Structure formats: C-alpha cells, structure tokens
C-alpha cells in the first residue's frame, strides 16, 4: 500500500519553531510530528510514503533518508511549484500513487495526531465497497468547523455543512482518508479543495463513507493545540504502554523523558511534559504542561508551564516562563527573567522580562 501526506506550506502558525525546521519535522513527544504518522503507516503494511510539499523539500528528504533505512519504507517527494490546495497534490502525484494493483491509498494531513487506527480503517473501507472513506471525530463545539452529516447505521456521508449556525451533527473531518485509485479521475491538476469540491461530489454519488475515529484527535498546527495534543497523546500512551512514561518521586502525572536527558535533585516534573534528548534540567526546577526540545538546559529553580522551549535554548536560574511562551531555537533567557506569553525568534538573548504576550524579533 501507499500513502500521501499533505505537508503543504510554511507552518506560519507554529512560528518561531518553523523558522528552524519545516513543520512536519518539529518535535512532538520527542520525535518529529511526521514520524508518528509514518511509523503507524508502516505498521499496517504501507511500503511507500509520498510527501506532497511546496516548501524546502531538500531539508525534509535529507532528514527522512535516515528513517527510510531504519523503518524499511520508501519516502519520496512530490513537489508543487504553486500551491495546489488539498486535492491538486493528489493529481500531481498520480503516477506515484497508481501502481495498477487497484489497492486503496491513504491520504493524511501532516498536522493531525491521533492513535491512527489504520487497520480498522482498511477493514471498514473494504467492507462498505464505496469509493472513499474519511475519518471523522466528534467535537464539543461543531460550529467552528465543517460538519460531516452521515447516515448513522451505514456511515454513508449525506452532506457537508460549513460552520453550522444550528446543530446538524458533531462529526468533523479528521484529515485521514482511504481512497480508491478511481478518486484520482475526479481531480484535475489545478488548485482544488478535497473537502469542498471532491468529497461533496463523491457523496452525491453515495460512494463516500465516514468512520468515527476511536480515541483522541488533535490538529497540532498551532501552539495552544500542540500543548493540548501533548496531553491527549500522553494520556493515550499511559493506557497503551505506560512503561514508556517516567516514574519517580519527582514526577506528577504523565511525563515523557528521553533516556539521554539528565534531571537534577528536588525537581517537580509534570503533568503533561515531554523532555527531549540531551536536555539538562538542574536542581529544583518545576515543569508542567510543556515541551522541552533537544539539547535544552534549564537552570536551577526555574519554573516553566504551558510553554514550548525550542532546541538548544537555555532558561536561567529562577526564571519563570508561562502562558504559551514559545522560544525558538537557541534562545537564551537570563536569570530571574519572567516571560508571560513571549514568542521569541531563534538565536535571541532575553535579558529583561516580557510582561505581556508579544513577539520578540
């Protein structure tokens, strides 16, 4: 089987992290976002992953070459010269996707994190005999999204309603699809939306089905959702393989610590924290609801919550970082500095406090 991952554009919502790496290579729970998807695809027998990309393909490919060998999976790029929306990239990659086997292929949005129940999706798709299956997830606040209205017993998609004013349902598109090759005949090579143009046409022919995604789901393309996604991911990890989580007197709730990280005495870590490779957390540090990426040093008695600390940064002694502060790569925060929602671009030194949410250029 094959899979196409829609990598797309510049990742502006996750800046300043995406100034250093393309968004799919930004770490989430101690490995690049896209690797979570590629590993799950490999587990259900996908042999080739195609990345639909229009931004810095050489960085992606060089990085993922290592994982090709480790995972035994082929990773190639299909590069757009102009943005083609969410369906155009499928037409562009047609020759890579169609191999004459008639097998369906996966299409994923690269920002989506979940338990990736791909085996169940394949089973459901083959059982209904339609042309395409989309995964849907139930949300509490459907008026912010496009809602997928389905026939409950069969899962046949009846229609799509964009940001409904009155309640029509609570299922939204989860950005995970399994499509028959015949779907490609419906897509022209031009900027096209799969959600707004292609899927409604398949639904009109009653050949589009929806499967409700079991477990958690999050689009982690922006900081607040990234932090929420980490909580949901660690919750899921606790249920599925709790041994991967840290334990000890200094740990509260779900915490993921890379084996090469060092943690000092008298710290309190958690809940919902990921600490990456090569990090040094000195004595008396307090961390909660945050991600600390590779090579970061956090000095004595610093306190970090609801924040993302980018690669190779340092946080000074007694510093306090909170309220969705995002430090880009190689940012150095001085001793006793306070950051309330600062968004700091890479390679900066912060010597004075950031008292209200702002971007530090």
What domains can you pick out in the chain, each with its CATH number? 2-219 (3.90.550.10), 232-359 (2.160.10.10)
SS3 148: strand
Backbone angle region of 210, left / alpha / beta, with phi > 0 → left and psi within -120 to 50 → alpha: beta
3-state SS assignment for residue 13: helix
Q: What is the largest CA-CA distance in the chain?
A: 64
DSSP string, 89-105: HHHHTHHHH--SS---E
Q: Which two structure tokens, joined as six digits, stand for 184?
A: 């490609």
Q: How far is Cα 295 from Cα 276, in angstroms, rounded to an integer?
A: 7
pLDDT per residue over 169-224, tens digit each? 889 889 999 999 999 988 888 888 888 889 989 989 989 999 999 889 988 888 89
Spatial contact of 216 and 115, defined as CB atoms under 8 Å apart: yes
Q: Long-range contacts: 82-86, Cβ < 8 Å, 24+?
A: 82/54, 82/191, 83/8, 83/9, 83/54, 83/191, 84/54, 84/189, 84/190, 84/191, 84/192, 85/191, 85/192, 85/193, 85/194, 86/6, 86/192, 86/193, 86/194, 86/195
pTM: 0.88
Low-confidence ranges of the chain (pLDDT < 50): none
- State yes or no: cis peptide before 341, omega within 30 of 0: no
pLDDT of residue 56: 66
Predicted pLDDT at 13: 78
The pLDDT of residue 10 is 65
């Amino acid at each position: 089987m094959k899979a196409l991952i829609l990598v797309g554009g510049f990742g502006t919502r996750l800046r300043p992290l995406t100034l250093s790496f393309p968004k799919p290579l930004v770490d989430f729970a101690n490995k690049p976002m896209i690797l979570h998807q590629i590993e799950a695809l490999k587990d259900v027998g996908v042999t080739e992953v195609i990345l639909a990309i229009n931004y810095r393909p050489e960085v992606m490919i060089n990085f993922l070459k290592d994982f090709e060998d480790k995972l035994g999976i082929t990773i190639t790029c299909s590069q757009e010269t102009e943005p083609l929306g969410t369906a155009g990239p499928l037409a562009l990659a047609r020759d890579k996707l169609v191999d004459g086997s008639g097998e369906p292929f996966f299409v994923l949005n690269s920002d989506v994190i979940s338990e990736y129940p791909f085996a169940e999706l394949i089973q459901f798709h083959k059982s209904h005999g339609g042309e395409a299956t989309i995964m849907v997830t139930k949300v509490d606040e459907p008026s912010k999204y496009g809602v997928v209205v389905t026939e409950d017993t069969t899962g046949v998609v009846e229609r799509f309603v964009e940001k409904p004013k009155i309640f029509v349902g609570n299922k939204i598109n989860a950005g995970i699809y399994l499509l028959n090759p015949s779907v490609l005949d419906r897509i022209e090579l031009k900027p096209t939306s799969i959600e707004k143009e292609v899927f409604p046409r398949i639904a009109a022919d009653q050949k589009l089905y929806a499967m409700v995604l079991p477990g958690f789901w999050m689009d982690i393309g922006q900081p607040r959702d990234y932090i929420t996604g980490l909580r949901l991911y660690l919750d899921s990890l606790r249920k599925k393989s709790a041994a991967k989580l840290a334990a000890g007197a200094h740990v509260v709730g779900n915490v993921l610590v890379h084996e090469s990280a060092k943690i000092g005495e008298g710290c309190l870590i958690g809940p919902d924290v990921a600490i990456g490779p090569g990090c040094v957390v000195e004595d008396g540090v307090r961390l909660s609801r945050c991600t600390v990426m590779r090579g970061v040093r956090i000095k004595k008695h610093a306190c970090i919550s609801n924040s993302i600390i980018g690669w190779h940064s340092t946080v000074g002694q007694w510093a306090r970082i909170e309220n969705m502060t995002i430090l880009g790569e190689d940012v150095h925060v001085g001793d006793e500095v306070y950051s309330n929602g600062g968004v700091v671009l890479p390679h900066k030194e912060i010597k004075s406090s950031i008292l209200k949410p702002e971007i530090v250029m």
